[in-house]
Structure 1
Amino acid sequence: MITENKLQISMSELARVTGVSTSQLRYWERKGYIRSKQDDKNKNHYFSLTTMISVFTIKYFLDQGYTLTVAVKKEEERKQLGIIFRRFIADQIKAIKQLPAEKGEVDLGTLEENPTQEVYAVIDQAGTHLHTRPVKKTD
């Protein structure tokens, strides 16, 4: 649902949730900083969850004292890093399993330089710990 941008909110809801006025949102949309979908009568604007995150981020940078142009640029950089991170998650996480004592394990696959070894992470209350182990042979 989220990746398909089916979750949408109105401009007034976006303004209320983010603290950015509807007039600012309209201006940002005219400038091409954010995008909406409009209803059949082209009156109501609806924004995706990803756009809502962009608005939060732009506002955060504006509140830090950056100009709108710089805030939008910083948001674009954040968005690109998000794309890279989602690609990593989609490509590298092979399996996730629950371990005893509130621990978990994430299988990250084999090492490119040594395909006989796999990387895995153990996550517990102390943090995340990366390890390697021999690849289990399947029959």
Structure 2
Amino acid sequence: MSLQSRLGIDIDKLIFGISQISQMTAISPRQLRYWEKRGYISSLSNKDGASRQYNLKMTIKIIGIKQFLDEGYTLAAAVEKVAYFAKRNELLRHFIAQRFEGTTELAGELALDFGDLNAKQRLYGVIEDGHAEFKLQEKA
């Protein structure tokens, strides 16, 4: 199920103007235009003279770049780190989307059901003492 269908809103319509992004992130519009000129970010296609607008995905990227800049990274390094995390998150999202089959109760606790590991065992994810753990359970 997509995020859009779970939230009941069209996330592609979550669009922010350059001044809104600037207010949210404390990054000047001038700096955002510079990042765009360098190819680090991109605004939505717009008409000549229209204010730049950014979709939710690009807004998250901008926030990530800002966070790494605040941690002391150079702009180029911050962009690389954001790209790495985006790639990693896409892999995780893909993996979870394919393996996650829902939740169930194991020993009275809520567990993530990752489906059959093999013909005899099922894989679950649980939190024990604050730590994420995998549990194998024999199938009935």
TM-score, length-scaled by structure 2: 0.79
Aligned residue number for residue 117 of structure 1: 121
Distance 1:98 1:16 in 2: 44
Instruction: Indicate the SS of the match to 1:24.
Output: helix
Structure 2 residue ranges without an equivalent (≥5): none
For the aligned residues, what is the CA RMSD?
A: 2.6
Instruction: Letter of the 1:107 partner, please give it.
Output: D
The list of structure 1 runs, each at least 4 consecutive aligned residues, that deviate by more than 6 angstroms after superposition, is 98-101
Instruction: Letter of the 2:23 partner, please give it.
Output: R
Say yes or no: does 1:108 pair with 2:117.
Answer: no
Aligned length, in residue pairs: 133
Instruction: Indicate the SS of the match to 2:73.
Output: coil
Q: Percent of pairs identical after alignment?
A: 32
Aligned residue number for residue 23 of structure 1: 30
Q: Deviations over 1:15-69 (max 9, x none)?
A: 1111111111111111111112144565022212221111111111111221111
Structure 1 residue ranges without an equivalent (≥5): none
Aligned residue number for residue 8 of structure 1: 15
Say yes or no: does 1:96 pair with 2:103.
Answer: yes
Kept after mapping to 2: 8 A contact 1:109/1:119: yes
